Amino acid sequence: MKENIEIGASYKKHYKMNMVGKDGATTVAIPPEVIDRKAEEFGSRPEEFIRCYKAVAHYDNFDGVFYTFERVTYGDT
């Protein structure tokens, strides 16, 4: 059963999607404001945050996609 999640007051921006590779993977930009805020939250500069963390997409049990960030560990891609 899909759950309705209220977005409420939020920022909204539109981004073009790009196909990558033969497997149909798609990339989408993450707004720089999000990266800046998360970098500050994790105590790093944006460049360091991008190098040390990966975006994780959560989907399937609700409408839309929700992203979190996890530290990259050895062997992650």
Per-domain residue ranges for the chain? Answer: 30-71
Q: How confident is residue 72, by pLDDT bands cut at 50, 70 and 90?
A: very high
pLDDT per residue as tens digits for the range 20-58? 888 888 888 899 999 999 999 999 999 999 999 999 989
Residue (of 26, 67, 27, 30) closest to 46 by Cα position: 30
What's the predicted TM-score (pTM) here?
0.69
**2: exposed, middle or buried (Cβ count in 10 Å: 0-12, 13-18, 19+):** exposed
pLDDT at residue 4, as a whole number: 60
Name the more confident of 12 and 75: 12
